[in-house]
Amino acid sequence: MTGLDQRSYFFDEGIRFKCRRCGDCCTGDPGIVRVNESEIADIAEYLNMPVSAVVETFLYSWGNGHSIKEAGDGRCLFFEDGCRIYPVRPNQCRTFPFWFANLRSEARWIKICSQCPGIGTGHLFTKADILNVLKKNM
């Protein structure tokens, strides 16, 4: 056990979550969604497009990698009546809402709960599950 595991958190009893695929987190305010090379290759294969076309159409350079472009209304460019790449969505989307930025304080978490109807429903993610997601993404 590491120090992280031994500390007490507001999610010690775990958090239930099941994505309802409502799209609320993929629309509205713009944000950075990191996509790495391997994820870009998976998306290209899934969409049956060349990698270069996926990069040019859907992504822009950000830091050492890429982020997903947004449409004029702020929605993710892959979101059209639902996520077009759901089975191969990037790790950042896959691990929502268990992001450090969301879990760093209970006040922040309460805000996220009000924005995501999937929180509080479905599978129970234990404290260990949640810490594992956080550690993998550090």
Contacting positions for ligand SF4 (CB under 6 A):
19-25, 96, 116-118
The number of residues in the chain equals 138
Q: Give 25 or 44: the residue with its C-beta nearer to ligand SF4.
A: 25
Cβ atoms of 5 and 128 within 8 Å: the answer is yes
Q: Give 90 or 118: the residue with its C-beta nearer to ligand SF4.
A: 118
Measured from the CB of residue 26, what is the shortest distance to ligand SF4 in angstroms?
6
Measured from the CB of residue 18, what is the shortest distance to ligand SF4 in angstroms?
8
- 101: tokens are 């930025």
Measured from the CB of residue 97, what is the shortest distance to ligand SF4 in angstroms?
6
Q: How far apart are CA 135 and CA 4, in angstroms?
A: 9
Instruction: Give the list of residues 6+ apart from residue 86 with CB closer than 8 angstroms, or none.
Output: 21
